[in-house]
C-alpha cells in the first residue's frame, strides 16, 4: 500500500453492495481489504481489482477471533491505517415470525447486528490511529419502516440504525465518525433467497409483480462513498427510501395504516 493511499475494509465483499463498493473505492485510488465467508465470491471480486491494491481473506463476521485476525492482517498491509470500515455483510431471511426456524432467526441477528458490533469493536484500534476515520454500517429501508414477514430482519436493521447513532456519539471521543447506508431494494442476490419457508417465490418475484423499483448496485456504492465522506449520519439509497424516511419521520401513523392495508391485500 502506498504511504498516503487511503484504505477501506469491506465485509460482504464477495457480492452485491460489498463488491460494487470495493470496485468503486479501488477505481478512486483506495487500497481495499476484501472479506467474506464465500471463497468463490472473494476470488471473483479480487479479480476485478488491480493487484497490489487489495488483499482478500475469509471472514465470518460472527467469529470474534476471526475479526481479530482479519484486522491484524489488514493493518499489516496498510501501515496500521483504516480510513473506513464498511460493515456490510448481511443475510436476509423472511416469513411469518412463528414459522421461522430458530436457526434462521439466530443467523439473521448474529450476522446483521452482532457481526456489525464485532467489527466496530475489533477495528477500533486501527480506526483510532487513523485521522478522520469512520465506520459505515449497512442498515436498510427496513431500519426505517417495519414490514410484515420480515420481522427479524427489520429488528436487525433497526438495531444497526440505533447502534450507528449511539456509536457516532461514543466514538467521537476518538475522532471516529459512524454512519449508515439505508438502501431501498437493490439488485443483489439477497432478493433471491428471502422467500418464505416452503415457498418457491422469491422476494424478487414479488417486487416485479408489484412493479416495485429495484435499484442498481452501483447506486448503493455511490451512496456508500457519500457515507464515507459526508456530514450526515444516515444515507438513503433511492427515491423510495427517501420517501419512507420522510413519511416515517413526519407521518408515522399514515405509514402504519398503509403497512396494514398492504398486508390485508396480500
Sketch out the chain's domains with CATH numbers. Answer: 7-265 (3.40.50.720)
pLDDT reported for residue 214:
74
Which residues, 6+ apart, have CB-to-CB distance to 186 below 8 Å? 16, 17, 214, 215, 216, 217, 219, 220, 237, 238
pLDDT reported for residue 254:
72
Instruction: Give the separation between CA 254 and CA 81, rounded to whole angstroms.
Output: 46
Whole-prediction pTM: 0.89
Q: 70 or 202, which is more confident?
A: 70
pLDDT reported for residue 142:
86
Mean pLDDT value across residues 256-265? 64
pLDDT band at 205 (very low <50, low <70, confident <90, very high): low
pLDDT reported for residue 262:
61
Instruction: Give the separation between CA 174 and CA 124, rounded to whole angstroms.
Output: 9
pLDDT reported for residue 188:
67
Q: Tell whether the model's pLDDT for residue 97 goes beyond 90.
A: yes
Where in the sequence numbering do the catalytic residues fall?
Answer: 153
pLDDT band at 187 (very low <50, low <70, confident <90, very high): low
Amino acid at each position: 500500500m502506498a504511504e498516503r493511499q487511503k484504505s477501506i475494509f469491506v465485509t460482504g465483499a464477495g457480492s452485491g453492495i460489498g463488491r460494487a463498493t470495493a470496485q468503486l473505492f479501488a477505481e478512486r485510488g483506495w487500497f481495499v481489504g476484501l472479506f467474506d465467508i464465500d471463497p468463490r465470491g472473494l476470488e471473483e471480486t479480487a479479480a476485478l481489482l488491480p493487484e497490489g491494491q487489495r488483499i482478500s481473506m475469509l471472514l465470518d463476521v460472527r467469529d470474534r477471533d476471526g475479526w481479530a485476525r482479519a484486522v491484524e492482517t489488514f493493518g499489516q498491509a496498510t501501515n496500521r491505517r483504516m480510513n473506513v470500515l464498511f460493515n456490510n455483510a448481511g443475510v436476509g431471511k423472511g416469513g411469518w415470525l412463528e414459522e421461522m426456524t430458530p436457526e434462521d432467526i439466530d443467523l439473521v441477528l448474529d450476522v446483521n447486528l452482532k457481526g456489525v458490533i464485532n467489527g466496530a469493536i475489533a477495528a477500533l484500534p486501527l480506526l483510532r490511529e487513523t485521522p478522520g476515520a469512520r465506520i459505515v454500517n449497512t442498515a436498510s429501508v427496513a431500519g426505517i419502516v417495519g414490514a410484515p414477514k420480515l420481522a427479524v430482519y427489520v429488528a436487525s436493521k433497526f438495531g444497526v440504525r440505533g447502534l450507528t447513532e449511539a456509536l457516532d456519539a461514543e466514538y467521537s471521543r476518538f475522532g471516529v465518525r459512524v454512519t449508515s447506508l439505508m438502501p431501498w431494494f437493490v439488485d443483489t442476490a439477497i432478493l433471491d433467497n428471502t422467500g418464505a419457508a416452503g415457498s418457491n417465490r422469491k422476494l424478487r418475484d414479488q417486487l416485479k409483480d408489484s412493479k416495485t423499483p429495484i435499484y442498481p448496485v452501483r447506486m448503493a456504492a455511490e451512496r456508500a462513498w457519500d457515507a464515507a465522506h459526508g456530514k450526515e449520519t444516515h444515507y438513503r439509497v433511492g427515491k423510495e427510501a427517501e420517501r419512507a424516511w420522510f413519511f416515517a419521520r413526519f407521518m408515522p401513523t399514515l405509514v402504519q395504516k398503509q403497512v396494514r392495508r398492504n398486508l390485508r391485500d396480500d
